[in-house]
């Protein structure tokens, strides 16, 4: 009588530990994600200012401003790691062409305000890269915990789902084609 | 999982060192109270005294170390490059941003101290800021942040005060034995005291190699290699730290305010190793050879 109860107790405690471990890992992932969000927010906040500054020197580059503004709106409305990563890449591309155009306007390039904004943006981009690195290592940790045995048994039971990585390289996502 | 076992090992070693210090001072007090007939209250005082130093070192060692080095805290506008480097790497490591201090010294070096990631300090010399480029500085800062995350800083700071305290006294007594000599024929009354000092000197002389071994135990080579490796993982660019170490090795300016007690805190031995080759100093060789560290970093 006692022995089955003892075994059951041990198993329950074991499950409890696995459950707590998974919860902790998942919390770390969402905390790391909010770190990325902070930096993305900072980036989107800088952009109206930048657009205004560039407009003062290069009025007729309308198309470019519209593209940057659209990409910014796109990033602000994006949800989830995958979508946000894509929107962020889109914004990066639009900004890249904006800065390329700015090269043609020496007075703009020399403007103190523009230089400051450029500096802040590149700092924010670095911070996004680092927060992404932290987030992805947490996701890797959590997803590994979900898939190893015996955790995998309880992960399904308690409906734990693997998290998305933030911005995996395009090459990694494509299925490998094998041709004979 | 290596990193988590390293963290708990560091926490345990910190308590062990603090306990050993109290036991050591109490034992010493006991021996002298027996020899001089002071009674057990003397031992009690010594216990309280060493306990207070132990606890004090846990909470205030970082401030003490920074004060002896005359370091000053900086803000964002004082050095944006350094500040941002620390900030970005902290985001990457998921650490709170430590306080940043600068020592005005042309010798290139850096260290981290504090008692946990929430009370941490990264300190660099002006020499290292002018010597290294951005990627190299990132490598060095990442190495220091790894020390913070692994709780190396707590252990190293406590070691710096407690073991360093004993090491410095030992050092002083050794010197006075060698150079002071024993002048006994001037004053009969002080003969007794001199005898005590002689005995103390001999005790410390015997103990100092043990103390040095303790430092070695606490400041294992593994710790530096681990910080190198996790720092490289953080920057994803081991070459940065490798070339920084290479530059540090070539530069032989000794750090003016460093002592044996604080040597193990730094990223590189603050003394010019080639000029300090007597056996006593070599006991305090706290760092694995730079060449080996560079070789491992380059092979990553």
Could you count the other beta carbons within 10 Å of the beta carbon of residue B246? 16
Told to judge if B144 belongs to the known catalytic residues of this protein, a careful annotator would answer yes
**Chain segment B258-279, per-residue pLDDT in tens:** 665 666 677 776 765 444 444 4
Q: For the domain covering B65-300, report its CATH number.
A: 3.30.2010.10
What is the 8-class DSSP label of residue B264? G
Percent of chain B residues past pLDDT 90, beyond the cut: 18
Q: Is A133 on the interface with B (CB under 8 A)?
A: yes
B80: closest chain A residue by CA: A123
C-beta atoms of B84 and A126 within 8 A: yes
ipTM: 0.74
A124 domain residue, yes or no: yes
Q: Given this model, what pLDDT does residue B275 score?
A: 43
Alpha helix positions (H), chain B: 2-36, 40-68, 80-93, 126-131, 134-149, 152-175, 191-218, 221-235, 238-250, 279-282, 290-298
A171 domain residue, yes or no: no
Q: Are B71 and B101 within 8 A, CB to CB?
A: yes
Looking at B73, B87, B136, B144, which residue is catalytic?
B144
Number of domains in chain A: 1
Q: What is the distance in angstroms between the CA of the first residue and the CA of the last residue of chain B?
A: 19
Q: Which helix (H) or strand (E) holds A109?
A: helix A106-110
**Each residue's pLDDT expressed in tens, for chain A with a length of 180 residues:** 788 899 999 989 988 888 898 999 999 999 999 989 999 999 999 999 888 888 888 777 788 888 889 999 989 888 888 889 889 999 988 888 888 888 888 888 888 888 888 888 988 998 998 999 899 989 998 999 888 888 888 888 888 888 888 875 544 444 445 555
**In Å, how far are B195, B226, B280 from B178, measured between CA atoms?**
15, 40, 13
A172 domain residue, yes or no: no
Torsion angles phi and psi, residue B211, rounded to 5? -60, -45
A30 domain residue, yes or no: yes
Find the domain containing A49 and state its range. Answer: 2-165
Q: Is A21 left (phi over 0), alpha (psi -120 to 50) or beta?
A: alpha
A93 domain residue, yes or no: yes
Q: Which residue has the tokens 């081991």?
A: B238
Residue B140 has pLDDT above 90, yes or no: yes
Q: Given this model, what pLDDT does residue B161 score?
A: 76
A45 domain residue, yes or no: yes
A178 domain residue, yes or no: no
**CA dist., res. A156 & res. A151, Å (int):** 9
C-beta atoms of A134 and B92 within 8 A: yes
Q: What is the CATH number of the domain that holds A112?
A: 1.20.1440.20
- pTM value is 0.75
């Amino acid at each position: 009588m006692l022995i089955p109860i003892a075994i059951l107790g041990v198993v329950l405690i074991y499950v409890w530990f696995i459950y707590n471990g998974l919860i902790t890992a998942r919390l770390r992932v969402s905390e790391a994600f909010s770190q990325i969000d902070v930096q993305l927010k900072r980036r989107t906040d800088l952009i109206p200012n930048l657009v205004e500054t560039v407009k003062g020197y290069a009025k007729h580059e309308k198309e470019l401003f519209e593209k940057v503004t659209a990409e910014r709106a796109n990033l602000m409305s994006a949800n989830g790691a995958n979508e946000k990563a894509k929107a962020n890449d889109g914004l990066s591309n639009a900004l890249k062409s904006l800065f390329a155009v700015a090269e043609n306007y020496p007075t703009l390039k020399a403007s103190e305000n523009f230089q400051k904004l450029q500096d802040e943006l590149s700092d924010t981009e670095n911070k996004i890269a680092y927060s992404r690195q932290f987030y992805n290592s947490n996701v890797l940790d959590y997803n590994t915990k979900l898939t190893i045995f015996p955790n995998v048994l309880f992960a399904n039971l308690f409906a734990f789902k693997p998290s998305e990585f933030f911005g995996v390289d395009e090459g990694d996502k494509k299925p490998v084609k094998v041709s004979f | 999982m290596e990193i988590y076992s390293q963290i708990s090992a560091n926490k345990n070693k910190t308590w062990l060192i603090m306990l050993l210090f109290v036991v050591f001072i109490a034992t010493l007090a006991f021996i002298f109270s027996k020899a001089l007939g002071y009674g057990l209250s003397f031992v009690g005082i010594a216990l309280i005294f060493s306990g207070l130093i132990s606890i004090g070192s846990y909470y205030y060692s970082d401030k003490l170390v920074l004060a002896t080095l005359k370091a000053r805290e900086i803000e964002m506008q004082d050095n944006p490059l350094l500040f941002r480097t620390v900030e970005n790497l902290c985001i990457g490591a998921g650490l709170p941003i430590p306080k940043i201090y600068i020592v005005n010294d042309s010798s290139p070096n850096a260290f981290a101290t504090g008692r946990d990631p929430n009370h941490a300090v990264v300190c660099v010399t002006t020499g290292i800021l002018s010597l290294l480029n951005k990627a190299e500085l990132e490598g060095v800062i990442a190495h220091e942040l790894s020390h913070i995350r692994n709780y190396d800083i707590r252990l190293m700071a406590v070691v710096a005060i407690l073991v360093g305290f004993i090491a410095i006294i030992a050092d002083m007594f050794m010197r006075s034995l060698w150079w002071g000599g024993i002048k006994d024929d001037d004053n009969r009354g002080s003969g007794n005291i001199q005898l005590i000092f002689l005995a103390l000197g001999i005790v410390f002389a015997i103990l100092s190699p043990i103390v040095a071994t303790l430092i070695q135990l606490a400041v294992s080579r593994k710790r530096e290699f681990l910080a190198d490796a996790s720092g490289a993982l953080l920057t994803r660019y081991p070459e940065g730290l490798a070339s920084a170490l290479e530059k540090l090795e070539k530069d032989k300016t000794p750090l003016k305010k460093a002592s044996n007690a604080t040597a193990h805190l730094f990223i590189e031995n603050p003394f010019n190793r080639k000029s300090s080759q007597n056996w006593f100093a070599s006991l305090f060789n706290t760092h694995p050879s730079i060449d080996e560290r560079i070789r491992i970093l380059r092979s990553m």
